[in-house]
Amino acid sequence: MKIKKILDKLKFKYNVVVIDEQRLTEKYNIHLSWLRLINIIGLLLIIMLTIISLIIFATPLSNYLPGFESAKIHRDVIEQGARIDSLTREIEMAEQQLMNIKKVIAGEIDIDSIPEADTTIIARNKTLKIDALEREKAFREEIAKNKGKKK
């Protein structure tokens, strides 16, 4: 009974009239019910959501949303991070070598007491593409900690 009353209210038609106030003439005359109004609003929302979704996913805009970047971009970011790490290591070794040269020139240390850089590691890092995952990094850190505890 209650549902039938609600449906009757939703189906009841109203006459919506738009009148020009200066001339008192009728501009528009629309017969609407609440049910038709709800349907129109719902249809407009669905159309708008579809258009917005198409704009986002069919254009490069999706690359700016978190979680929607392509695999290529993700791979490039990882490769650039690995390259930055290796370049940082090389800069640190070059700075250390420069400091050693300055100390030798200043006479602070003897030439024979300078620790040699491991050239095999430097050569391997230049040719090796480091593509480590987070799990691998964590594993390496754990191994390094365990070696430090044993010494």
Cα torsion 85, 96, 128, 134 to 10°: value is -30
Q: In which band, very low, low, confident or very high, does the pLDDT at 126 lie, cut at 50, 70 and 90? A: low
Q: Is the dihedral of CA 15, 20, 26, 28 positive or negative?
A: negative
Global pTM exceeds 0.75 = no
Coil, helix or strand at residue 142: helix
The overall average pLDDT reported for the chain is 80
pLDDT in the model for residue 100: 82
**Any residues with CB less than 8 A from the CB of 62 and at least 6 apart, and which?**
56, 68
Percent of the chain with pLDDT over 70: 79
pLDDT in the model for residue 45: 98
- pLDDT, greater one: 117 or 27: 27
pLDDT in the model for residue 115: 60
Coil, helix or strand at residue 28: strand
DSSP labels for 69-115?
--HHHHHHHHHHHHHHHHHHHHHHHHHHHHHHHHHHHHTSS-GGGSP
pLDDT tens, residue by residue, 50-88: 999 999 888 888 777 777 767 777 788 888 888 898 888
